[in-house]
Amino acid sequence: MTSDSNRIQSIRGFADILPSATPVWRQVETTLQATLAAYGYDEIRLPALEHTELFARSIGEVTDIVEKEMYSFEDRNGDSLSLRPEGTAGCVRAGIQHGLLHSKEQRLWYAGPMFRHERPQKGRYRQFHQIGAEVFGLQGPDIDAEMILMTGRMLRALGLGDVRLEINSLGSAEARRAYREELVSHFRAHWEALDADAQRRLETNPMRVLDSKNPQLQAVIESAPSLMDRLDEASRAHFEGLTRILDAAGQPYTVNPRLVRGLDYYGRTVFEWVSDALGAQGTVCAGGRYDRLVEQIGGNDTPAIGFATGIERLVSLVTERFGVPEVAGPDAYLVVGDEAAMGVAHRLSERVRDQSPGARIRVHSGGGSFKSQFKRADRCGARYAVVLGESERASGQYTVKDLRGDEPQRSLDENELIEFLSAGQH
RNA sequence: GUGGGCGUAGCUCAGCUGGUAGAGCUCCGGAUUGUGGCUCCGGUGGUCGUGGGUUCAAGUCCCAUCGCUCACCCCA
């Protein structure tokens, strides 16, 4: 036994996804991708590594993500590169670089690992996986509403229809700036009523003060001005347009005026789907509009909206609710008597795979008694055990035993056996 | 970065006021010379996370350190 001290372990926050979990992952991923396809989105695949500058310029220099959570390092030529902490920046970069956004709309989705150097906890990892989508070139609230309805459909398709939808509008950059100043002076006037945490937030991200969970601050927060009341006219009309469509579509929501994004590029519509079953990390899907970003990183003025979901969180919810599906074993397990039988076993199984690519045949390896081979056939969940021993080779009649049901043991010649195993479900 | 909880067999865990490391499951073998599951019997598997200290004696007490985990911050 190797001692723990010289055994290499995975990096903190980088999880292995073991065979017992991959079926749920696959189910979540295929369900989400099918829904995206149903709304006419096209897949785009993007690098995990980008120039650090891209994230600094899009996410915001002073955000936590850029300041202390990125995996950044110098390339051999001295460039600063970073593992992507989110997917939007790279998608926008690719859209500009390849001319995808040139006066036409795009509905794109992507999937893959993201990296943030945070302290891991339930539902939060340093390498985590997202599926997200970005729509470019559409400025009206109709696409906002469609994206919200689509993400709602995704969650329902996973059996997670009981999450709640929260929406808000962050208004225009100008309105937000004016509001932020107003907010800062409000809280400065009540400085001594704030706790240390809120005082710190007032310096870094004033709108976050509204998020404080401290009940003693509720009075000061209640009396604070609301961004909703100070939206610019266009943003107000946009938001009202959004709620009209959601109402007409029968999609329930709550307006949460304290719903703020941690990334600088958001404006106007923001939304979140929240579950109460995940502890502190309740957001399973979040998105919003970012009309200024494309221009900000060098493209033409292009309206855009996007969302991302955390696969780990969805997998966790689905697993808690429905358990893990039993892994289906092979259709047949070939028990081999000796070396000569091994040749027969592979000749037979290859012919079955030729004829029926969906057939799942496991040929025993590693020797051992018939007893132990049968035991393994049973343990791996095989439906049938096929015995290839001396007497079978002599007679040309192979024994097939049903391991899961009451079918009587049968004797088949080679062609019959191949037909039998190729038939799939018996 | 900060705080709480936890580190004993592959897994889940027991181990009392310090006194020779245990159980269940798994795995391997046997009962059944070529037939799994159920049962019974036997076996493999541990520097008790790591390093130091106290003691005649440490899984147990003390200190440090590493790891896991939950929470804060922040976020998917």
> Which ipTM score applies to this complex?
0.87
Residue A1: the pLDDT is 33
Nucleotide nearest to A122 (CA to C1'): B70
Residue A424: the pLDDT is 66
Q: Is the CB of A378 under 7 A from strand B?
A: yes
Per DSSP (E only), the strands in A36-192 are 42-43, 49-51, 72-74, 80-83, 106-115, 127-136, 164-169
Residue A2: the pLDDT is 33
Q: Chain A, 141-180: which CBs lie within 7 Å of strand B?
A: none
State yes or no: pLDDT of A6 exceeds 70.
no
Q: How far apart are CA A251 and CA A270, in angstroms?
A: 16
Query: Stated in angstroms, how far is A26 CA from B5 C1'?
Result: 33
Q: Is the CB of A263 under 7 A from strand B?
A: yes
Q: What is the pLDDT of residues A315-344, one digit of tens each?
A: 999 998 888 877 788 999 999 988 889 999
Q: How far apart are CA A415 and CA A200, in angstroms?
A: 77
Residue A5: the pLDDT is 53
Q: Is the CB of A1 under 7 A from strand B?
A: yes
End-to-end Cα spacing for chain A: 44
CATH entry 1.20.1050.10 includes domain A4-172+231-322: no
Nucleotide nearest to A371 (CA to C1'): B35
Query: Stated in angstroms, how far is A375 CA from B26 C1'?
Result: 14
Which residues are registered as beta bridge partners of A51?
A: A81
Q: Is the CB of A3 under 7 A from strand B?
A: yes
Q: A4-172+231-322 with A332-422: one CATH topology?
A: no
Phi and psi angles of residue A254, each rounded to the nearest 5 degrees, phi first? -125, 135
Coil/strand/helix, residue A387: strand
Enumerate the domain spans of chain A: 4-172+231-322, 332-422
Query: Stated in angstroms, how far is A379 CA from B10 C1'?
Result: 17
Q: What is the pLDDT of residues A110-145, one digit of tens each?
A: 999 999 999 999 989 999 999 999 999 999 999 999
Which CATH code fits A332-422? 3.40.50.800
User: In strand B, which positions have an atom below 7 A from any protein CB?
Assistant: 1-3, 10, 26-30, 32-37, 45-47, 49-50, 67-76
DSSP state of A121: B
Query: Stated in angstroms, how far is A5 CA from B58 C1'?
Result: 21
Rounded to an integer, the average pLDDT of A169-174 is: 91
Q: Is the CB of A310 under 7 A from strand B?
A: yes
Widest distance between CA atoms in chain A: 97
Beta-carbon count within 10 A of A333 CB: 27
Q: Is the CB of A116 under 7 A from strand B?
A: yes
Cβ partners under 8 Å of residue A132, min gap 6:
A87, A88, A91, A109, A110, A111, A287, A306, A307, A308, A309
Q: How far apart are CA A406 and CA A90, in angstroms?
A: 57
